[in-house]
Structure 1
Amino acid sequence: MYTAKGRLDNSSLIRQYSPLVRRLAHQMIAKLPANIEIDDLIQVGLIGLTDALSRFDIGQGVQFETFATQRIRGAMLDELRGGDWMSRGSRRQQREIESAVRKLEQKLGRAPLESEIAIEMGVPLEEYQDLLGKVRGTQLVYLEDMSGDEGDEDFLDRHVADHANNPLLKLQDHRMREALVAAIKNLPEREQYMMSMYYEHDMNLKEIAVVLKVTESRVCQLHSQAIARLRVKLRDW
Structure 2
Amino acid sequence: MYTAKGRLDINSMLQQYSPLVRRLAHQMIAKLPANVEIDDLIQVGMIGLNDALSRYDATQGVQFETFATQRIRGAMLDELRGADWMSRGTRKQQREIEAAVHRLEQRLGRAPHESEIAKEMGISLAEYQDLLNKVRGTQLVYLEDMNGDNGEDDYLDRHVADNDADPLHQLNDYRLRQALVEAIKTLPEREQFVMSMYYERDMNLKEIAAVLGVTESRVCQLHSQSIARLRVKLREW
Which category of TM-score, normalised to the shorter sequence, fits these structures? 0.7 to 0.9
Q: Considering Cα pairs closer than 8 Å and 6+ residues apart, tell me whether 1 or 2 has the greater RCO.
A: 1
Aligned-CA RMSD value: 3.1
Distance 1:22 1:120, change over 3 A: same
Residue aligned with 1:77, SS: helix
1:1-237 mapped onto 2 (5 Å cutoff): 1-136=1-136, 138-140=138-140, 157=155, 162-163=160-161, 164=163, 170-173=172-175, 176-237=176-237
Distance 1:172 1:11, change over 3 A: same
Deviations 1:125-159 (A, max 9, x none): 12211211121254435797788xxxx9779837x
Stretches of structure 2 that go unaligned for 5 or more consecutive residues are none
Could you state the TM-score of these two structures normalised by the residue count of structure 2? 0.82
Runs of at least 4 residues off by over 6 Å = 142-147, 152-156
Q: Is the 8 A contact 1:73 1:161 kept in 2?
A: no
Distance 1:137 1:190, change over 3 A: farther
Deviations 1:56-85 (A, max 9, x none): 333444321122122212221221122111
Q: Is the 8 A contact 1:31 1:139 kept in 2?
A: yes
CA distance in 1, matches of 2:125, 2:153: 29
1:221 positional shift: 1.2
Q: Is the 8 A contact 1:142 1:235 kept in 2?
A: no
1:49 positional shift: 1.0
Q: Percent identity?
A: 76
Could you state the TM-score of these two structures normalised by the residue count of structure 1? 0.82
CA distance in 2, matches of 1:106, 1:235: 14
Residue aligned with 2:236, SS: coil
CA distance in 2, matches of 1:127, 1:72: 36
**Count of residue pairs the alignment pairs up:** 230
CA distance in 2, matches of 1:155, 1:28: 22
CA distance in 2, matches of 1:74, 1:142: 14
Stretches of structure 1 that go unaligned for 5 or more consecutive residues are none
Distance 1:5 1:155, change over 3 A: closer
Q: Is the 8 A contact 2:197 2:203 kept in 1?
A: yes
50-59 vs 104-113, which moves further: 50-59
